[in-house]
Chains A and B, each alone.
Chain A
């Protein structure tokens, strides 16, 4: 059987090496919590995620492991090109923070972090804006798709919802 498109999660896909190609990502030199992002890139992701979903600041190790696992799986479903673009975008946020404030994103004051992300969301050039939308989507997926989070949201679905309509 010929190998099918690597973009299709249904077909067996050989997982690529964990680190992406950008040199600055390799400086970390240690294995991280995700297969598809280097440890350094994961650190950048986590710093952004804490601002996007403040609950992650107080999350325990299990919650973070689930967060990373969900995003890792989603990245694994995407072609290598998109994974690279995502890693590049995370790097660009780092560069923007340094260019604007002289410090990496993780070391900015909370209001500076929020302002930078708000700029990315509302006023950045189209490519960056879409990149931020993609980042938010992945972060929200990593957090809100966890079943363990549902109760904290007041979300308690039931297969027999009609029984609870007039309870």
Chain B
């Protein structure tokens, strides 16, 4: 087995790993060797320019684990998370929000203050050029949602997003073809590499030992080859930072022989379970032109436990989220240019039994069951969404828990009869998640948490976690900026640890 030595090994290059890499990069000037191990490949810019029509599967296979179709053990929810240089920041829509104070208070992590998280969040929002799009860059899909929410008296806000030179491809979730989205692949990782950080792509961390990582380099059939030769490698380091995401970070720690017992490892997994609803308008609207996600409604977050966001998806993704088949399904699909879409996300509780385990092969298994509260939230969110669609002028709506495929505008006052709990059956409807959180939660109690408020693993001072698996509860917003803020804290602790630790 090849041997490599480093001062810091960072596993993962997404929002967490990329942030830690850049934050620690100045240490390279002092002679430190910092290595990022990224499971997936780095794609050349021209690979993002795959033609727009028909790129859905091609890019999904390149950018997502299992092409975005990982299922939980119960086969009731699809999990979508990225893999590659930049991780999930390559495939999300770039919405960037500071976690609300009330949410952080609910997290209840001693030593974690909202003021600190907000301050760090703003640093990265500035670094990533987060801003509001101008009105003339907003498409109908978004403005119809905004205007309808305002008409109904629902609080609606514009998403600030991290783009530079956005040309409105609406293909954010398949990798921006215009290099406009400011993910870690465009900002933090290149900056870190300029300072001397090495990003080793196509390199999967297999397990962690005492101050070492055993990894395997195997080049993907696309993207650029790894800077290291193929084969197994042992990387010894003074500090190891795990930032492989809420599914793979707990899995990696579970299959590693850590010297401590961590009963909470893998547990308290949350996911913001989501559904898509579609409203059909009489005439074509602009929906797949322009940035797809400009507004959100958190009016019902505290009272009913759900958020609404604008969205626009691609043909296959849209088709599989409509519950039905045959003539009606085809009829709606042929009108993609008339579709208005809303993504509903439930704010789920952190339960010990919702967890990540590993199978005999060491690969992650996500065990997740929906609570009655989550299903109630999803049900109510569908009715609210239908009202929004009709207020926006839609002629009919498709709701996953609809008694019939279409709900007509004339039925707007009968939504309680038209959208029912008996139709909201896991396994029948398409529930998905792209906000994967928990599994290595922060806290002070070693029985119910894995790390302290600085991401340092309890009882293992050289081991850190720096991604959404730190979240003790759901973020209640898009988690991206919060991940970066927490990762920034972790980097600070790693630096302090290195300065205080004896040389290896």
Contacts and interface: CB of A to CB of B under 8 A. Distances in A.
Interface in B205-245: 216, 218, 220-221, 230-232
Given A5-B363, A117-B325, A161 B170 contact: yes
Given A9-B67, A53-B325, A141-B320, A155 B315 contact: yes
B62 to A, nearest CB: 10
A3 B220 CA distance: 14
A61 interface: no
Q: Size range of the interface on A? A: 35 or more
A4 interface: yes
A115 B250 CA distance: 44
A107 interface: no
Interface in B115-163: 136-137, 139
Interface string A121-158: 11000100110011011001101111111111111111
B106 interface: no
Given A160-B168, A162-B167, A153 B76 contact: no
Given A4-B218, A140-B319, A159 B54 contact: no
Interface residues of B, number: 66
A52 interface: yes
A121 B316 contact: no
Interface string A1-18: 110110101111000000
Interface stretch (B270-278, B282-290, B452-460, B492-500): B282-290
A117 B328 CA distance: 14
A165 B216 contact: no
B289 to A, nearest CB: 3
Given A161-B170, A165-B286, A55 B330 contact: yes
A113 B420 CA distance: 25
A134 B170 CA distance: 27
B376 interface: no
B69 to A, nearest CB: 8
Contacts of B423: 122
A166 interface: yes
A11 B40 CA distance: 11
Given A53-B325, A155-B53, A161 B319 contact: no
A145 B57 contact: yes
B218 A1 contact: yes
B326 A1 contact: no
Interface string A49-62: 00111110000000
Nearest to B220: A10
B259 interface: no
B333 A159 contact: no
A161 B290 contact: yes
Contacts of B286: 164-165
Given A5-B363, A153-B333, A153-B334, A161 B288 contact: yes
B52 A159 contact: yes
Contacts of A164: 286, 289
Interface of B: 40, 49, 51-57, 61, 66-67, 69, 75-76, 136-137, 139, 166-171, 177-178, 202, 204, 216, 218, 220-221, 230-232, 284, 286, 288-290, 314-316, 318-320, 323-327, 329-330, 333-338, 361, 363, 423, 425, 427-428, 430
27 contacts: A1-B230, A1-B231, A1-B232, A7-B66, A10-B221, A52-B326, A52-B329, A54-B330, A74-B67, A77-B61, A121-B323, A121-B325, A130-B76, A133-B427, A137-B320, A141-B320, A144-B318, A144-B319, A145-B57, A150-B53, A150-B315, A155-B315, A159-B167, A160-B169, A162-B137, A162-B168, A163-B167
The 3 lowest CB-CB distance pairs between A and B, nearest first, are: A147-B54, A162-B168, A161-B289
Interface of A: 1-2, 4-5, 7, 9-12, 51-55, 70, 74, 77, 114, 117, 121-122, 126, 129-130, 133-134, 136-137, 140-141, 143-166
